Chain A
Amino acid sequence: MISTLLTDLGYEFAQNALIAGTIAAILGAIVGYFVVIRDSGFAAHALAHIGFAGAAGAAILGLSPLEGMLLLTTGSGVFMGFTGDKVHRRDMAIGVVLSMSLGLGTLFLSFYSGFAGQARAILFGDILGVSDVQIREMTVLALLSLAALACFSRRLLFASTQPRLAEARGLSLQALSIAFMVVLAISVTLASQIVGILLVFTLVIAPPGIALRFCRSFWAGMIASVILGVIGTWAGILLGFITNRPVTFWIPLLFFVLYLLTEGYSRIFLRSER
């Protein structure tokens, strides 16, 4: 078993999988931390679904699925940020837009000959098929997003924890919301390269969500989130190699187990604190 693993790791596809997984996990964990404290997990989920149409329709415009998805998610992200909390928390509106995007994606996919294969890759990820070009694209995008986030993370943390106070100190909640949604759109797109659009939740929400259940300070939570995200992704990929079962089964499973453990821990522990 170990020797198969070592042989596998000698291949480029395996190394690329680990590199791409690490990039998506780090970005997802950091950006996801803000998603969790801003309580906008639904927006993250919605962006991924909207991206489906972009990924599927990219070929029509001569773009790669990554580029197509990025275009649509950042566009929608700006729109969501612009309209503020009121719209992206409105279940009805978001539900209609989501279904429309998925429907459009299905239409675009029907133009391909390998319909089922393409759909599967977009919906559930294609971590074993990550190319060197994709790695380069992902690295650049992740670095850009993190650099942007570093510039406004102090304001974002303030506005996310105390919106009314932040407003009173002259911060524009809308501008921050737009900037954050763009960064979120990029992280969602990168995460979907690894786990597919249906499972973006596992890389963007699960690690920070778990970290925030037991970490009391901002930095402890952030660091724990990144460590959990990276370890979970590596473990999932390696388990995928060893068992020859989908990576997108293993990564969510690991986070599911971790979530159950944290939930149990925090129930017992937080109750005793009361």
Chain B
Amino acid sequence: MSAALLISDLGVSFGETTVLSGVNAEIRAGEFIGVFGPNGAGKTTLMRCLLGTLRPSQGTISIFGQGPVKASREIGYMPQGNVGFESTALSARALVHAAWRGEKWGVPWSTRESRAEVDRVLEITQASTYADRPFSVLSGGERQRVMLAQALLGQPKMLVLDEPLASLDPKNQALLIECIAEVKRAMNATILFVAHDMNPLLHVMDRVFYIAGGGALLGNIDQVVNSESLSHLYKFPIDVVRAHDRVFIVSREGNVTEAACCD
């Protein structure tokens, strides 16, 4: 299989601060990649590089053989966090519709083609039943399905999902993961799924992309998520504890889960 994403010697610095350096990765088309790492490790920074909104200080990124800016139409993106609209009655369907070829000039006409495409993506994420209700009254899980539908507009070959599980309860997390796995099977898209906890994704992801300590490690779960590899990456002693088919990453000193400190 051909490479969907090729990152070579990527580095990002803001002034004096180096966020990422020497990041290499080769992701094949159709892979489901879980992207993990402590807060502030550079997950969002890396995603911004892939989306072309941030220029890396060094190294190159190739997405289906193109640079990030050119490849932006191949990527469906689900940003982190929530959209507002608490005080408006704008429907979920209207929001998705606004994103359909939203980068074009002119007036946002509603055409037969645009309506069909919006129907299609809402159908895939099973959001059709509530798509006409105001976005502001939808539950967290429903909102995420709408945002996922939006990422599927125009049949992208790669999906970048930035913390879609944040602020969802465990039941809705599981439902959304099922939905995303379903989407992957239907579209055969390459998926980069950023998450805080890897446990909900253990059964669906193919490989792990772990970002910490200014670097990154890509590989099978067993290769990456073990005490030795992560301690090396964090530059700090880390223990990986497995219990009940689950993985827990704890700092060896201080007994803190998801060690945040690494500098």
Contacts and interface: CB of A to CB of B under 8 A. Distances in A.
Contact of A270 (B52, B53, B99, B134): B134
Interface in A126-157: 150-155, 157
Given A169-B72, A216-B132, A155 B90 contact: no
- Point out which of B53, B69, B103 has the most chain A C-beta atoms below 10 A from its C-beta: B103
B90 A37 contact: yes
A212 B136 CA distance: 12
Given A150-B107, A154-B106, A274 B137 contact: yes
Interface stretch (A63-71, A104-112, A159-167, A186-194): A159-167
A153 B137 contact: no
A33 to B, nearest CB: 10
A217 to B, nearest CB: 5
A75 to B, nearest CB: 26
Contact of B102 (A151, A154, A164): A154
Interface string B61-105: 000000001001101010100011101111101110111011111
Nearest to B94: A217
A159 B75 CA distance: 17
A213 B89 contact: yes
A98 B101 CA distance: 38
- Point out which of A37, A165, A171, A274 has the most chain B C-beta atoms below 10 A from its C-beta: A165
A162 B102 contact: yes
A170 B134 CA distance: 28
Contacts of A168: 51-53, 72, 75, 77, 79
Given A167-B53, A170-B69, A154 B107 contact: yes
A146 to B, nearest CB: 11
Interface in A217-274: 217-219, 221, 266, 270, 273-274
Nearest to A266: B89
B167 interface: no
Contacts of B88: 36-37, 212-213
Contact of B108 (A36, A165, A215, A218): A218
A170 B103 contact: yes
B150 interface: yes
B110 interface: yes
B52 A170 contact: yes
A270 B108 contact: no
A12 interface: no
Given A170-B52, A273-B133, A154 B105 contact: yes
Interface in B132-187: 132-134, 136-137, 150
Given A162-B99, A165-B77, A170-B52, A155 B104 contact: yes
A35 B104 CA distance: 20
Interface string B104-144: 11111010000000000000000000001110110000000
A85 interface: no
Contacts of B52: 168, 170
B106 to A, nearest CB: 5
Contacts of A115: none
A162 B98 contact: yes
A151 B106 CA distance: 4
Interface in A172-220: 212-219
Contacts of B84: 39
Nearest to B50: A168
B89 A214 contact: yes
Contacts of B94: 216-218
A270 B95 contact: no
A251 B95 CA distance: 32
B49 to A, nearest CB: 11
Given A161-B95, A161-B99, A154 B77 contact: no
Given A37-B88, A157-B108, A170-B72, A162 B79 contact: yes
- Point out which of B73, B75, B88, B136 has the most chain A C-beta atoms below 10 A from its C-beta: B88
A25 to B, nearest CB: 20
A221 B106 contact: no
Contacts of A162: 79, 83, 95, 98-99, 102, 150
9 contacts: A154-B105, A154-B106, A155-B102, A162-B79, A168-B52, A168-B79, A170-B103, A212-B89, A273-B134
Interface of A: 36-37, 39, 150-155, 157-159, 161-162, 164-171, 212-219, 221, 266, 270, 273-274
Given A154-B104, A270-B134, 5 more contacts: A153-B107, A168-B72, A168-B75, A215-B89, A266-B89
Interface of B: 51-53, 69, 72-73, 75, 77, 79, 83-85, 87-91, 93-95, 97-99, 101-108, 110, 132-134, 136-137, 150
